[in-house]
Amino acid sequence: MHATNSGGSPNRLLAGLSAASLGIHLLLCAHLANRYQGESTSYLELSMRDISEPAARSIPRPRVRTKAPELQGDQSINIRERRVPQIKVEPLQTRPESISVGSVSIPALPDMSGVRGLKVGDWTPVVGGQEFMTRQDYTEMVRIKIESRKRYPESARSRRTEGRVTVRFTITPEGRVTGIQMVKSSGHALLDQAALNTVKEASPFPRAPSNLFKGSFQMEIVLAFELM
């Protein structure tokens, strides 16, 4: 009996120690597990970025082309021809009358034979009254002829003498000049005498028209002697 009890005590002791050791190990493992779990906490870093959408690019849209409607079948347009009636033009039977031009008579020069010292330029043909329509036409002709015979005295020209002379005279129905007199002097005797001589040399004039002038009539003319 004694031998049996002594053999069972060591086994119980060994079992108790094993159980105690296991409990201690379990406690240590649990403690270590909690500690490791606390130290191994990881942190997750978050960063915020401003990501904006890219600007939208405007792309032009292609122009929509409308398709021309197709003609179904051949459509022809009939144009009606319009006829214009022809107008018959008959040629003129009558001919224009011919215009007859009468002969123009030229007055013949007088016979100069036997006359000495007479220049052709001094001869004035007799002109009919039909050439002058008004009194002013005739008097203007007289003024032009007198001006054409005016001569500036050389002595007065060399002295540069100038002046105006008014001369009055009478024209007969035959065109001759009478009663030449000075109305207003230029103040220079050479110019006054030259003016009187000019009127004398211009005479005679064409016959005065009888339908415009009744007998003799007087005229006044101003002769200017001026150096240009």
What is 30-72 written as a DSSP string?
HHHHHHHHHHT-----------PPPPPP--PPPPPPPPPPPP-
More confident of the two residues 156 and 49: 156
Q: Which one has a higher pLDDT value, 36 or 86?
A: 86
Calculated CA dihedral for residues 21, 22, 24, 25, nearest 10 degrees: 120
What pLDDT digit, counting tens, does each position of 55-112 carry? 666 677 777 777 666 656 555 566 666 676 677 766 666 554 544 444 444 444 455 4
**Predicted local confidence at residue 165, as pLDDT:** 96
pLDDT at site 127: 46
Q: Which helix (H) or strand (E) holds 79?
A: none
The per-residue pLDDT for 168 is 97
Q: Is 206 helix (H, G, I), strand (E, B) or coil?
A: coil
Instruction: Note the Cα 29 to chain centre separation in Å.
Output: 116
**Amino acid 228: pLDDT:** 80
The stretch 175-197 carries a mean pLDDT of 95
> Residues 170, 178: contact at Cβ < 8 Å?
yes
pLDDT at 140: 95
Judge whether 164 and 222 are in contact, CB under 8 Å. Answer: yes
- Among 1-10, 23-32, 55-64, 152-161, the range of highest mean pLDDT: 152-161
Q: How confident is the model at residue 134 (pLDDT cuts 50, 70, 90)?
A: very high
Q: What is the pTM of this model?
A: 0.44
Q: Could you give all domains of the chain from N- to C-terminal order, each with its CATH number?
A: 124-225 (3.30.1150.10)
Which helix (H) or strand (E) segment holds residue 152: the answer is: none
Q: What is the pLDDT of residue 155?
A: 93
At 52, the pLDDT band (50, 70, 90 cuts) reads low
pLDDT of residue 97: 54
User: At residue 37, does pLDDT exceed 80?
Assistant: no
Q: Residue 1: what pLDDT?
A: 44
pLDDT value of position 65: 73
Mean pLDDT (whole number) for 138-149: 95
